[in-house]
Amino acid sequence: MKAYPLKFEPIYKQRIWGGRKLQEVFNKELPAGEKIGESWELADLPDDKSVIANGELAGQTLASAIEKYPKEITGDENFSLPFPLLIKFLDAEDILSVQVHPDRQTCERMGQGEPKTECWYIISAEENAVIYKGLKKGVSKERLAEAIRQDSVAKILPEVYVRAGECHFLPAGTVHSIGAGLLIAEIQTPSDTTYRLFDWNRVDDDGKSRELHIEEALESIHYDMPAEELYVATVGRLVDCEYFKVDKDHQAENCKALLSPGKMKTLIFISGSGRIRSAETEPVVFEAGDCILVPALFEGAIRFADDTRYLTVTINNSN
């Protein structure tokens, strides 16, 4: 196989808090009449595996393609699956539950779940939109448990006003929630383990409350999380954690960049359009809302429209 940039079929997830913004902003073909909260752009979980949408590998999952061509795609003949990233777009028309994801040590201690560290890049934000991250200073496990019993969790959550262009880092063990009116690109480790501790007393269309996971959440939270670990970045290197790096780029008019062989990377296009060319493969056209995996052995050039903004994600601890 001659390495070429890979595009994927999105995996849509209906959510009680979702909307239709992914169709309005990115022209995605959402299922009719459903509140779509998440579009999984790159995934390799047991029940959700990204399918390649272009070129000679079209119709194959990312995992099966890597099994056949590990060196060409990843640069590592012994690359270990599952693929160590999960990339999504989130449309929060309503507020999300207050939740936490466990770290590896908690998963091992509890004998369940998969660890999850993530970051949120704010694509668009309505006026006065907020997120919640961490707990107010001095909140202990006992105080949080009491707040849950008294239905006063919101009072101990720091409310953070956000703007487009910000990236918020959320290591495993961080209590968090996304407020209404936000469109977000989420980069994370490959886990769907979520423990809800509060859901704003909401019910679904059938009048039922969603399941909470109080005991698991209380055991997973880092109550002494240093504030500097919950940083926000807006330019250049946005995140550099043990699992992945995220960089923010903006291309000026008629800009052209070279893609040299070496390290596999994933490009998340926030705005604009363009195409990726090489001497040996068909050009790959992209637009806002696309997520493209550039194989390690691909060599070519990428040309951007003047309004193109994108994120580059690379895996840490890989060749």
Query: Radius of gyration of the chain from Cα atoms?
Result: 20
244-315 shares the fold of 11-236:
yes
Give yes or no for residue 318 having a pLDDT over 50: no
Gap between the Cα atoms of 96 and 226, Å rounded:
24
140 CB-near residues (< 8 Å, 6+ apart): 223
Instruction: Determine the pLDDT at residue 47.
Output: 96
Encoded tokens for 194: 């979520």
Quick one: residue 5, left, alpha or beta (phi over 0 = left, psi -120 to 50 = alpha)?
Answer: beta
How far apart (Å, rounded) are the C-alpha atoms in residues 51 and 60? 6
pLDDT band of residue 45 (cuts 50, 70, 90) is very high
Q: Where are the domains of the chain?
A: 11-236, 244-315
Encode pLDDT of 243-255 as tens digits: 999 999 866 545 6
Query: In a 3-state reduction of DSSP, which class is residue 105?
Result: helix
Architecture of domain 11-236: Sandwich (2.60)
Sign of the CA dihedral running 45, 48, 54, 60:
positive
> Residue 314 has which token pair?
């690379």
| Residue 153 to residue 141: CA distance in whole angstroms | 12
Instruction: Quick: pLDDT tens for 220-233.
Output: 999 998 888 999 99
Which CATH code for domain 244-315?
2.60.120.10
The confidence score (pLDDT) of residue 97 equals 97
Q: What are the pLDDT digits (tens) for 133-149? A: 999 999 999 999 999 99
Whole-number mean pLDDT of the chain?
Answer: 94
Q: Which of 20, 143, 196, 309 is catalytic?
A: 196
Concerning whether 196 is annotated as a catalytic residue, the answer is yes
What are 291-307's pLDDT values in tens digits?
Answer: 999 999 999 999 988 88
Q: How far apart are CA 45 and CA 82, in angstroms?
A: 7
For residues 262 and 206, give the distance between their C-alpha atoms in angstroms, rounded to a whole number: 52
